[in-house]
Amino acid sequence: MKLNKLKRWFFVMVKNTGIICLMILVLTAGCASMSSADKTQRQERGINKLVIHTDKGKDTINKNIYGHFSEHLGRCIYDGLWVGEDSDIPNTRGIRNDVVEALRRIKIPVLRWPGGCFADEYHWKEGIGPRQQRPSMINTHWGMVKETNAFGTHEFLDLCEQLECEAYVAGNVGSGTVEEMQDWVEYMTSDADSEMANLRRFNGRDKPWRVKYFGVGNENWGCGGNMSPEYYADLYNRFQTYVRSYSGNRIVKIACGPGSENYPWMTTVMERSHRRMNAISLHHYVRGTGNWTKKGSATQFDEAEWFALMKNTLTINPLLKNNIEIMDRFDPRKRIGLFVDEWGTWWDTEPGTNPGFLYQQNTIRDAVSTGIFLNAFNNHCDRVKMANIAQTVNVLQAMILTKDEEMVLTPTYHVFEMYKVHHDAVMLPVELQCGDYQLGDEKIPSINVSASKDTSGKIHITLCNLDPTKSAELVCDLQGTRPSSIIGRALTAGAMNAHNTFDNPEAVQPDAFDKFDFEDDILTVTLPPKSVVLLGIK
């Protein structure tokens, strides 16, 4: 009997009879018929079993989990998104056409701007009116370079309209005033006969924009003012009072939450301000070995560094669990959304680039890390309602890299393209038992997964094999459904550091995947090493 048929037979028998001891007999018989080499390899991989409850989904995966973040940092805005109307690079009102088209292909749902740390030194009135008359400033957080304010409120909201995505504006609490924040919201969203609305009209925009999301400060425990949680919570309560909903625009007010494991911050801000917020943020960056001063290269690393990133990325699961438990104490009805509005990998900048610009490559390693993050957000979608990867273009774990008129899509971009099937789908509960990926004395689970069902009834499973050297055989019990057809795609590469460059822009991209078989409700899959796999099941 072939091994895959043996596995399927075993699952059917266990489901129908509940005789657990049969598993040992069947697997022993199967291993006995294999060569000693196959047996050793199978023992190393372990027995990977997945149960997907296709008939028990109840929570919806908010498409905003697949959101993005654009800060006035390095070449994210200038060169990445904005080139100006006079540029030879094809553009629409100064915004790059190629980048807009690429982001539309992944159905970008929401874009956060202008920061980041930059948000709490940004004064919006300097970024409106004729560009040649806008005052410049020094970007003190990111390279001490001149900020021309050529890209401001009108340009950002034009970009969101071109992308057909929601706008998420981060307000200035660190160095701004209540009046400044109040005026900005009125300027953008009011249709009244008022000073701010008329100023917008004078600057060329008659009707107000729709601005759904507004953040009251950013990282106020750090670059946004080095505040205590008590002080910030009191400021939040004051500032948010003046973030008003005008002319039918309903604003979601977002409080500044913690960075990674700063649980006292989450506790204090939730305790003092939960009645006045609609959402609270969480930031979480990961790296390999090393420290935050020397984070390691994005492209030059060994398996120990690969393993370290996978291990560090998996910390997102307890981090979400612990923060959600705190939120549940003050908001048991889950009215308040958890917005992970900055997340991703963070490496040393590429050689020869401005260290304040945070320009880094990303590889298949970053792609697998991305899959783990997104699976975690999917699986916690009862509370996680938005996430924004840092950042969209040319900064940190970017979707897109640009050089003059050229554009490259990164492996991370391709994961977002594959995972767009989860947008607004119903999350399906999963139970995974898998072998370990072990390196030296350390080990972590080798497989990571999430699943959903869309409005047409189609099921999608996204799987990550964290092991860069070994494939993983997985047997999946699709409880509640019997597939009629399955299609697959896989993102993988030969080398751990494979990445896309301007000379070789398609080195890493998804391919058709067919290393699976199914019979009745039992699916068997062989996941390639270092891979992200998507299965679509009808």
- By annotation, the residues acting in catalysis are 219, 342
3-state secondary structure of 107: coil
DSSP string, 472-506: EEEEEEEET---S-EEEEEE--SSTT-B--SSSTT
CA atoms within 13 A on the CB side of 531: 26
The phi, psi pair for 362, rounded to 5°, reads: -145, 150
Give backbone dihedrals phi and psi of 342, rounded to 5 degrees, phi first: -145, 125
Q: Which of 349, 406, 397 has the alpha carbon at shortest distance from 373?
A: 397
Query: Residues of 493-507 as b/e, b for ≥16 C-beta within 10 angstroms?
Result: beebbbbbeeeeeeb
Residue 157 and residue 165: Cα distance in Å, rounded?
10
Give me the residues paired with residue 48 across strands: 474
Give Cα 282 to chain centroid, integer Å: 12
Quick check: 200 and 219 in contact, CB under 8 A?
no
- The number of beta carbons lying within 10 Å of the beta carbon of residue 115 is 26
Rounded distance between C-alpha atoms, residue 52 and residue 235, angstroms: 45
DSSP code, position 299: S
Element spanning 460, H or E: strand 459-465
Structure tokens at 115: 């920061």
Residue carrying structure tokens 């553009």: 91
Radius of gyration (Cα) for the chain, nearest Å? 24
Could you write out the DSSP letters of every residue in 24-58? HHHHHHHHHTS-HHHHHHHHHH--EEEEEETT---
